[in-house]
Amino acid sequence: MPRTTRPTAALTAGLAVMLPAALLLTGCTSGGSEGDGFAGALPAREHATPTPTPPPTWPYVALGDSYTAGMRISPQTGEPRGCSRSSANYPSLVAKALGLTAAQFQDVSCTGARTGDLTAAQRTADGSNPAQFDALTPATRLVTLGIGGNDAGFVDVVTECAKDNLVDVVKGLVGGRSASPCRDHFASDGASGTDEVQRKVEAAGDRVGQALQEVKRRSPQARVLVVGYPSLLPADPALCKPVLGGTVTPGDLGFLLEKEQQLNAMLKKRAEAAGAVFVDAAAPSAGHDMCAGEEARWIEPPFPAEGLAPVHPNAKGQEGVAAVVLKAVKG
């Protein structure tokens, strides 16, 4: 999610299509109740319950940051080029599965986006992205929103954790290492009982809530899906040793996992409060984190495959998230 003035964010099973429910057949009789002499006088007529009309899925507008945009995933498309938007990102895959035309789908997501970039133009290293909300109209019927990680400063947390652990390795040459130097860095100030990262997540939640209210105001008939972030790390830190070695302590890997869980919990809470649908991308991506093998992972590690963005979804990750988003759209 990098941008000109902000650091890169470290902070996204084929498409599953839900089939409509089978027709429910009911019988009815003509006339009175059982025992009145008319029951069974005429054969029961079967009436099929009408199949509910599915909600319209277009016009569809995709909003979000680099986890939505598909940073560095080929093919890159759209303007400005600085948004690093891929035509193989999950919004594009969902639109294709829904059979939408180019006129029925608009992806305005942009790498580096924060909630402020939904209502104001965002400058990138190569061009300016108009305010993402400009794409919303009263006619819009489907909106996906994947944002909040940059507001919560998740990039700063990951960067700081890497630095703290590196410094701690050097210190460990002459003394013992801390079990969790990054957690120590962001420790609670003792007054609120919450650490610095959690406070930033909560502040980001206020902005996400306001953004969802604005989506509703601009597109009152749209179905809104808030897409969470996929799992960056496994539940067992030991699984990361082959990929990360001993550069980050198990305690700090657990800390980062905890902070991402808080971020997703905040998004879920805000989505539900706004009457939107929360799409959980973390659970389906379990086992596909950055520490999984190259063939299994949806998220690239700090040293990614050539051409891809570190700690960001790869093409398989976009396909995986597209599957859960499509399931929510069809559900």
Q: What token pair was written down for 250? A: 């198990």
Q: Furthest-apart CA pair in the chain: how many Å?
A: 99
- Catalytic pick among 47, 66, 128, 219: 66
The vertex-282 CA angle with 276 and 284, nearest 5°, equals 100
Sequence length of the chain is 331
Per-residue burial over 308-324, b if 16 or more Cβ lie within 10 Å, else e, is bbbbbbbbbbbbbbbbb
Residue 218, burial from CB neighbour count under 10 angstroms (0-12, 13-18, 19+): middle
The secondary structure of residue 175, as a DSSP letter, is S
Active-site hit among 84, 92, 285, 312: 312
Q: Would residue 66 show up in a list of annotated catalytic residues for this protein?
A: yes
Q: Is 219 marked active-site?
A: no
Q: By C-alpha distance, which of 55, 59, 264 is closest to 146?
A: 264
Per the CB < 8 A criterion, the answer to whether 285 and 299 are in contact is yes
- Which residues are catalytic, by number? 66, 312
